[in-house]
Amino acid sequence: MTDCVAGRLVVIMIATYNQIAAAGDFSTSVNVALPVNSITSAGTTHGVAMFWTTVTANGNCTVTWVGTSGNHHPSVAIAEYSGADTSSPVEDSSSNTGNSTSQSTGNIDASDNSMLAGVVGTHWTYAFTKDADYTQIYNQTNGNYMLHNSVDRSVSAGTYNIPWTSGTEEPWFAVGAAIKKATVGSVKIR
């Protein structure tokens, strides 16, 4: 990412094939990536994961995933947020997996002016459609890689379940989190 601002929060969402991403798999120019939540598809090691870190200096930020040897087809989305708590930003998180045309993260509790972030993935052949209430961060539709869709949305206090749909019933996996605001204001994507 270019023009990163020191002190902001970065959320990393990744879908991988035959290896679930772990915090130690990342090399960043910002800080160590800390885990939020992850899930694998039943009986496999295909999955999605979410991590957070903070920007340490203004300028370009890089995040590199260094998986084990093999062909993991990683698909990565990175989002930078202002107004977020950068010492302990995860208010709540949830993960879910299934085999259907309706996908969701499971329930996530959020406070007023927090940001919901979510990622859904599959290693099969269909694409995801985000819910109209969410902003798309990234949409990987190339079948040579893990397919995934990342979204976010600013919310008021409540319990949320980030939804997607697809045209085909096949296995999927999803992770979502509420990113809490700093002491004043609200969380905003840059």
pLDDT given for residue 30 in this prediction: 55
Tokens of 177: 């989190």
Is residue 147 within 8 Å of residue 119, measured between CB atoms? no
Q: How confident is the model at residue 136 (pLDDT cuts 50, 70, 90)?
A: confident
Distance CA 93, CA 161 (A): 10
Tell me if 105 sits within 8 A of 161, measured CB to CB.
yes
Q: What average pLDDT does this structure show over 163-180?
A: 86
Cα separation of 24 and 10, whole Å?
Answer: 16
Q: State the pLDDT confidence band at 57, using cuts at 50, 70 and 90.
A: confident
pLDDT of residue 143: 59
What was the pLDDT predicted at 110?
93
| Least confident piece of the model among 23-32, 37-46, 104-113 | 23-32
For the chain, domain boundaries = 9-189
Predicted TM-score (pTM) of the model is 0.85
Q: Is the pLDDT of residue 93 over 80?
A: yes
Helix (H, G, I), strand (E, B) or coil at 84: strand
**DSSP bridge pairs for 28:** 63
